[in-house]
Amino acid sequence: MNKTVSNGPSSETIDVLNRRVSVRKFASKPVSDALVDEVLTAAFRAPTSSNIQTYSVIRVREAESRRRLADVAGGQQHIIDCPVYLAFCADMTRIEYAMARNGLALDNNNFEMGLVSSIDAALVGMSAYAAADSVGLKGVMIGALRNDPKTTAAVLGLPHRVYAVFGMCLGYPAEAPQQKPRMDFGGIVHEERYDSAKMQAFVDRYDNVLAEHYRSEGRTTTDDSWTHDMHAKFSVRPRDTLRQTLRDLGFDFA
């Protein structure tokens, strides 16, 4: 289903990304702060709009903090168990400080500011994951921190103008889960203009491939596996209060 390249150019980075899986069970082998520091230092070279660097990372060690964050995320035990837990945050406090030094305020920030800072955090997070994977660490992203941004902010001690975009569990893997197939390359990459008919055909095909994958793992699913799951997830508006909650935290997503 996925595009494969034979006899084509490759690199360590391409190989790392092609092997990527989400890991939720970790070995007891410790992960040093020095190694995590190296991973994050590399990640901070990720692109950032106009060099604004609107991100911060919280390394969470305290067991009670992890328990509360796991509760926010719907009881995800790997938040508690993983050797390293990181929260990647959109952070406009440094911009606010820079403006205050020049007699201005950030109270009229708009959608663009919130969007750019969230993208900045996401770029750093994915860069950190790739860097971690390259040295043998595996993990999983935790978007469910946004289930309750105010509780997350309270647990992490986040000031106004900072919110947690997502978390990340990292550690040495205790298992090697089967890689989930992705939608076909041809259904995602378009030439010159977007081809809706092609997209729909590839989605229909992906339903069958994903259903086969889940059944090979002993999971129950429908024949229209992916579209069924997407309907179930988005037929009710997810996190419907998120926009107002982020506005309360200093991000205007109106």
Domain ranges in the chain are 23-177, 185-232
The type of residue at 79 is I
How many Cα neighbours within 13 Å face the side chain of 117? 29
- Does residue 56 register a pLDDT over 60? yes
Task: Grade residue 254 by pLDDT with cuts at 50, 70 and 90.
Answer: low
pLDDT tens digit sequence for 95-146:
999 999 999 988 888 899 999 999 999 999 999 999 999 999 999 999 999 9
Q: What is the pLDDT of residues 185-218, one digit of tens each?
A: 999 999 999 999 999 999 999 999 999 999 999 9
Confidence of residue 4 (pLDDT cuts 50, 70, 90): very low
Tell me the range of 17-21, 104-108, 161-165 where mean pLDDT is highest.
161-165
Neighbouring C-beta atoms of residue 22, cutoff 10 Å: 14
* pLDDT surpassing 90 at residue 252: no
Kindly report the backbone phi and psi dihedral angles of residue 109, in degrees, each rounded to the nearest multiple of 5, phi listed first.
-65, 150
Identify which of 176, 166, 82 has the alpha carbon closest to the alpha carbon of residue 124.
166
Please check whether residue 121 is in contact with residue 251, taking contact to mean a CB–CB distance below 8 angstroms: no
- Mean residue pLDDT of the chain comes to 94
Please name the fold of domain 23-177.
NADH Oxidase (3.40.109)
CB-based contacts of 205-213 (< 8 A; 24+ apart in sequence): 205/1, 206/1, 206/181, 209/1, 209/181, 210/180, 210/181, 213/178, 213/180, 213/181
